[in-house]
Structure 1
Amino acid sequence: MLHEQQDFNYQKIGKKVLRIEREGLDQLEQYINADFSYTCQIIFNCRGKVIVMGMGKSGHIGKKIAATFASTGTPSFFVHPSEASHGDLGMVSSNDIVIAISNSGESHEILSLIPMLKRQKIKLICISSCSESSMGRVSDVHLCVKVPKEACPLDLAPTSSTTAMLVMGDALAVALLEARGFTYEDFALLHPGGLLGRKLLLHVCDIMHSGEDMPYVTFDASLRDALLNITSKKLGLTVVVDNSMKIKGIFTDGDLRRVFDRGMNLYSVRIQDVMTHGGIRIHSDMLAIDALNLMQKKNITSLIVTDNYNNQLLGIIHMHDILRAGIV
């Protein structure tokens, strides 16, 4: 049974671990060398995918490295070495490259696969702490990732070494990202479910009110007809168009207040006599986030959506539409 140690200084040990791991990372810069550049070039020129392998804790790090590659423009996935020995090696093709991760460089599960990889002429990149290890000697390029010591006081649990491997993987992924000219838009295409993806991929035409949901009246309609249109569409406005759907103006609740102030007859007044000419318009291919920014800048809640050429009404977008889409 574990006994509570109230006097034990957990903070001291935690800070010691951070210090040891920082020191390990300080040593890592020396390994960003010609081998690093060669590794990046091999990955950059790869016509297939980057297959990452590793056992134990190195395997967990490998999964993260593969995921980072894949999300930043380098097609990649993780293959467990043991599963590879039982059929999953079929996932690897001759156009792929393999990154094998092992702190000692002596993982027998990976070593047993190397003859098959060599037979298919698949380039092998090894990341370990020793270039003279078995894996290091047979690899096409070896990346050394060596730390002075583990943060574990028993020097057994992989701690500093796995942190350094993870950082080396990040260095490779980011170097390749920049070399490819990877953009925000590229990132969003690979993350459509995330906030950034929604911000960058969702256009006005995807969420605007159009067709029968769109509030509009012709310029010869009565004010009464316009009010019925506004209340039925529930967007607080209606757009005034001619017979070819070209925009003439807009009528909002602000215009209605001015009508009441002037004591006008709702049945006899035509909408063209009380509408606001113009109206703030955007194109249907505008990003929804840009539409939201424009609404906030103009202190309004809706925008008229037009085509790019003929000033024809295509739809209405309301601030609530953008909020419902989860952009903010």
Structure 2
Amino acid sequence: MLNQQSNFDYQSVGKRVVRIEHESIEQLDQYINIDFSRACEMILTCCGKVIIMGIGKSGHIGSKIAATLASTGTPAFFVHPGEACHGDLGMVSTNDIVVAISNSGECNEILMLIPMLKRQNILLICITSRPESSMGQASDIHLCIKVPQEACPLGLSPTSSSAATLVMGDALAVALLEARGFTQQDFALSHPGGALGKKLLLHVSDIMHSGQDIPHVTRDTLLRDALLEITRKKLGLTVIVDHFMKIEGIFTDGDLRRALSLGIDFTLTFIQDVMTHGGIRVPPNMLAIDALNLIQNKNINALLVSDDNDKLLGVIHLHDMLRAAVI
């Protein structure tokens, strides 16, 4: 068991690590050069996939780089070099690009694969700290991630070099994202289950109440019967429409409270006499998140959904937003 020092200054060590890695990353921009541009252009014009390879810490960083590329418009996945030597190399085809990562540039498992890659004319981008390394010399394009020092005081554990590799991968992914004109909508398509996906893919028409679920009455309906419609449909409102479903007004819980305060006879009063004319309408193709923002800005609970001719198509309630996890 290692001896634990009493009163050890953890914060001092932590700050030193942050400082060293920060300085290492600051110096990385000197390697964002013509080779970086060539690598981006090579990937951008690739007709196949980008395969990331690495062993150990480089492999973990490579998996993250592959995931970032894939989620930002560049088809990519990670292949472990050891598994590639035993069959997974079959995942790599002629139109693909291999991005191999090794700090030393002397990873045996990757070096074993290079002759096979060359035989298939597969383009090779190597990310190492040594352009003169075996991998650096064998690559079509070399991206350098050399750092002044590792944050590890023993100089053994990859720390600064891992951070630099990660940043280089992010630089590639973001440069490619912008070059493609990749949008939020494109991003959402690869994240349909996430919060962003729901915000950018879900439309009002996907979650609105429609057809027989829409609470609606005509203007000559007695207030008593309109209240029965509100109770049946459970949205706290009813829409007043003509016989062609064109919107004329809305009656909500707020209108009911006003009617009660005036002592109106519910059995003799028609809904047209107490309804609110108009009602806020939105189109069915509006994003659900935009509808939510409108509900919050107007301090209301629901919106009417209509077409260009003011025909009632549906009703969307704040509760619908909650159920769909738009909020």
TM-score, length basis structure 1? 0.96
Further displaced range: 69-78 or 4-13? 4-13
Q: What is aligned with 2:256? A: 256
Q: What is aligned with 1:294? A: 294
Q: What is aligned with 1:110? A: 110
Q: State the secondary structure of the residue aligned to 1:27.
A: helix
TM-score, length basis structure 2? 0.96
Distance 1:234 1:181, change over 3 A: same
Q: What is aligned with 1:269? A: 269
Q: What is aligned with 1:164? A: 164
Please list every run of 5 or more consecutive structure 2 residues that lacks an aligned counterpart in the other structure.
none
Q: How many angstroms apart in 2 are the aligned matches of 1:204 and 1:133?
A: 57
Offset at residue 288 of structure 1 (A): 1.0
Offset at residue 264 of structure 1 (A): 3.1
2:77 aligned with 1:77: yes
Describe how 1:87-98 pairs up with structure 2 within 5 A: 87-98=87-98
Q: How many angstroms apart in 2 are the aligned matches of 1:9 and 1:265?
A: 78
Offset at residue 319 of structure 1 (A): 1.1
2:13 aligned with 1:13: yes
Q: What is aligned with 1:317? A: 316
Describe how 1:1-328 pairs up with structure 2 within 5 A: 1-307=1-307, 309-328=308-327
Cα deviation code 1:280-325 (max 9, x no counterpart): 1111111111111111221111111112x22111111111211222
Q: How many angstroms apart in 2 are the aligned matches of 1:8 and 1:209?
A: 62
Residue identity (%): 70
Cα deviation code 1:120-157 (max 9, x no counterpart): 11100001111111111111111111011211122111
Task: Read off the aligned partner of 1:47 and give its amino acid letter.
Answer: C
Task: Read off the aligned partner of 2:235 and give its amino acid letter.
Answer: L
Offset at residue 4 of structure 1 (A): 4.1
Q: How many angstroms apart in 1 are the aligned matches of 2:169 and 2:248?
A: 58
Q: State the secondary structure of the residue aligned to 2:285.
A: coil
Q: How many angstroms apart in 1 are the aligned matches of 2:266 and 2:44?
A: 69
Cα deviation code 1:142-193 (max 9, x no counterpart): 1111011211122111111111111111111111111111111111111112
Offset at residue 219 of structure 1 (A): 2.5
Offset at residue 244 of structure 1 (A): 1.6
Distance 1:10 1:255, change over 3 A: closer
Q: How many angstroms apart in 1 are the aligned matches of 2:262 and 2:159?
A: 77
Distance 1:256 1:23, change over 3 A: closer
Cα deviation code 1:7-65 (max 9, x no counterpart): 22222222222222122212211111110110011011111111000011110110011
Further displaced range: 2-11 or 13-22? 2-11
Number of equivalent positions: 327
Q: How many angstroms apart in 1 are the aligned matches of 2:127 and 2:254?
A: 67
Task: Read off the aligned partner of 1:188 and give its amino acid letter.
Answer: A
Offset at residue 211 of structure 1 (A): 1.9
Q: How many angstroms apart in 2 are the aligned matches of 1:258 and 1:145?
A: 70
Task: Read off the aligned partner of 2:59 and give its amino acid letter.
Answer: G
Please list every run of 5 or more consecutive structure 1 residues that lacks an aligned counterpart in the other structure.
none
Cα deviation code 1:64-93 (max 9, x no counterpart): 110111111111100000111111111111
Offset at residue 246 of structure 1 (A): 1.2
Further displaced range: 177-186 or 18-27? 18-27
Q: State the secondary structure of the residue aligned to 2:48.
A: coil
Task: Read off the aligned partner of 1:229 and give its amino acid letter.
Answer: E
Q: How many angstroms apart in 2 are the aligned matches of 1:278 and 1:45?
A: 53
Cα deviation code 1:179-234 (max 9, x no counterpart): 11111111111111221111111111111111222111122322111010011212
Task: Read off the aligned partner of 2:128 and give its amino acid letter.
Answer: S
Q: How many angstroms apart in 2 are the aligned matches of 1:153 and 1:260?
A: 77
Offset at residue 118 of structure 1 (A): 1.2
Offset at residue 269 of structure 1 (A): 2.3
Q: How many angstroms apart in 1 are the aligned matches of 2:304 and 2:12?
A: 61
Distance 1:137 1:222, change over 3 A: same
Task: Read off the aligned partner of 1:104 and give its amino acid letter.
Answer: S
Task: Read off the aligned partner of 2:107 and give its amino acid letter.
Answer: S
